[in-house]
A and B are shown apart, each in its own frame.
Chain A
Amino acid sequence: MKIGVLIKQVPATDKVRMDEKTGTMVRSEMEAELNPLDMYAVEEAVRIKERLKDVHITAITMGPQSASDAIRDAISIGCDDGYLLTDRRFAGADTWATAYTLSMAIKKVGGFDLILCGERATDGETGQVGPSVGSQMGIPVLTYVSEIVDLTDKHVRVKRAIEGGHEIVEVDLPALISVVKEINDPRIPNLSGKLKAKFAEIGSLDSVSIEADQSKIGLGGSPTKVVKVFYPKLTRSGEIVRSKDPQSSIKALLNFLKSKEII
């Protein structure tokens, strides 16, 4: 079985801090990491490999040269190899153009039975690229998957975490699955994994090698455009009670709740 895992490099979330003056969030542009929600997709692929015979896992990402680090992280956890899609012409792609580009790369690499991805990336937070890739490829899309109940060479049965409960659905392969955090507990890479990742040769693909229609990639191929960006102020200056006596704190809280017509 051939599994493809779609991953993204994002600005490191633990490096975010609050700008005291402006009350907005600031994050270092320099630090990047593998999207935390993609770790669950990588881990799930590795677990499938441990369970079934002859599983090969390929991680695929689109980004600048430095995004090859995300591929190395995926290999250190257990992916067999990876491809970095990098090309100046990919820059500025929205979710539609990104999904088109990834689907062309997947077709180029070829032969995947299962494609896994995370629920969404912690920077753009759209959650649209995974389902769009499946739709571009014309294969069934299973979103919000919290458990792979059954997987054979022919089909996959999953549990989807939806509002109010879990839904069980089955499709024939090939299929695309986006997973939620509930699905597993990702492992920490061990030393041999890190060494393997360090020396792994990472495949490189560009818009020409994936035979992309140049009018459908990057900023120019994106149907949506950002027209304005602004930074909302998050801080509030509320009343903070520092009483030793819980009763007086509670009294102040009840008064506050009453003033807001909550009780």
Chain B
Amino acid sequence: MSGVWTLAEFREDRINSVSYELLAWGRSLADTLKVELSSVILGCEIKDVESLFDHGSDIVYKVDDKRVEHFLPDTYSNIIFSLVKKYDPQIIIASATTYGRTIMPVLSTKLNTGLTADCTKLEIGDDGTLLQTRPAIGGNVMATIRTQTRLQMATVRPRSKKPISYDKSQRKIIVPEIEDELFKSAYRWIKFERDESTDLPIQEADVVISGGRGMRDEKNFEMLYALAKELNGVVGASRTAVDMGWIPYSHQVGLSGKTVSPHLYMAFGISGAIQHIAGMSSSDIVIAVNTDPDAPIFNVADFGIVGDATEILPELLKALGDKNE
């Protein structure tokens, strides 16, 4: 039995910060169960493994090989499958990123074990099993789920826990021997095209500045980018703004877009259709600006301004600019 495992992500030459959030969850589970916490990391020329220990890992299983430089679902799942069979963890968690949400279902099927998606809370029940709490129907319902199999697997929503620092780590790196056969892949990886914007994905941002129909046109979105820059945030959008072509789909917040839970969410010219609220209601602080005093977005706001977003924004930017001078 080798305790709790987290799947760390190494991409574009660095360990993704969600890997550390995952360790914070893993640490609390491992401490309750009095077992070791491990990270599993695959990649090529992996750097900064020590940081995994600093954030909670006791052990790191490292597969550093040119053949796993890119995420290949079959190779990755075959390798992790072989490690699971050899080292026998009782819990495996991954972030609910495109990586975690792809590898985990593939892996759990191979392992014949249950998997719970996009959890916002993980705890150990009285009987020592993993209790996995997740929102469904856009946060309408919260469900706590238990897995019947001994091995229990879950993906965890980014930003659902803050990373911790840890100084009791055993700092043990295990470099397992992997048969050549397992590296074979049906996938031919061609290339990665980085988006021009260097923004964080909206699900991982601390501050999300969103715009909707009330922004009136694409040009006005520039003010949102300026405000996002000012507050170290990223720009989100309502479905309307995306449908109008003002901003790409990857920025859409809501039931048919992304679910975000930043520290600060600002909604400009968004009326707050229930589908939008479903995607942002778990934010810590919500600020809304809308011309309609009856707009439902005000029901979920901690602070609101009844007014035209395109008039408020320039003034707000000016005031913030003045403050900095």
- Interface residues of chain A, those whose CB is within 8 Å of chain B, are 11, 13-14, 16-18, 23-25, 27, 36-37, 94-96, 99, 122-132, 134-136, 140-141, 143-144, 157, 160-172, 180-182, 222-232, 234-236, 238-243, 246-247, 249-254, 256, 260, 262-263
Contact = CB atoms under 8 A, between A and B. Distances in A.
Interface stretch (B47-55, B115-123, B210-218): B115-123
Nearest to A216: B112
B226 to A, nearest CB: 15
Given A135-B109, A253-B316, A241 B299 contact: no
B277 A234 contact: yes
Interface size class of B (residues with CB under 8 A): 35 or more
Contact of B136 (A125, A234, A252): A125
A261 to B, nearest CB: 10
23 contacts: A27-B140, A37-B256, A122-B256, A124-B136, A125-B137, A128-B108, A135-B77, A161-B98, A161-B250, A167-B189, A224-B114, A224-B145, A225-B145, A226-B144, A227-B144, A229-B141, A232-B139, A235-B300, A236-B299, A238-B286, A246-B315, A256-B302, A260-B264
Contacts of B114: 94, 96, 222-224
A181 B149 CA distance: 34
A140 B136 contact: no
B106 A135 contact: yes
A238 B303 CA distance: 5
Contacts of A250: 312, 315-316, 319
Interface string B115-138: 111100000000000010001111
3 closest Cβ contacts across the A-B interface? A223-B114, A126-B117, A135-B109
Interface stretch (B25-33, B34-42, B164-172, B191-199): B191-199
Given A144-B98, A240-B293, A223 B186 contact: no
Interface of B: 11-12, 16, 70, 73-74, 77, 97-99, 101-102, 104-110, 112-118, 131, 135-149, 186-195, 201, 204, 207, 231, 248-250, 252, 255-257, 264, 274-275, 277-278, 281, 285-287, 293, 296, 298-307, 311-312, 315-316, 319-320, 323
Given A125-B136, A256-B302, A260-B285, 6 more contacts: A11-B137, A128-B108, A132-B115, A223-B114, A227-B146, A239-B302
A229 B300 CA distance: 22
B186 to A, nearest CB: 5
B135 to A, nearest CB: 8
A135 B74 CA distance: 9
A165 B195 contact: yes
A131 B106 contact: yes
B131 A227 contact: yes
Contacts of A223: 112-114, 147-149
A228 B144 contact: yes
Nearest to A233: B281
A250 B148 CA distance: 54
A37 B316 CA distance: 37
A169 B274 contact: no
Residue from A94, A223, A239 whose CB has the most chain B CB atoms within 10 Å: A223
A234 B139 contact: yes
A16 B275 contact: yes
Nearest to A24: B140
A122 B255 contact: yes
A144 B249 CA distance: 12
Contact of A166 (B193, B301, B305, B311): B193
Given A236-B302, A240-B301, A16 B98 contact: no
Contacts of B275: 13-14, 16
Given A164-B194, A260-B285, A249 B312 contact: yes
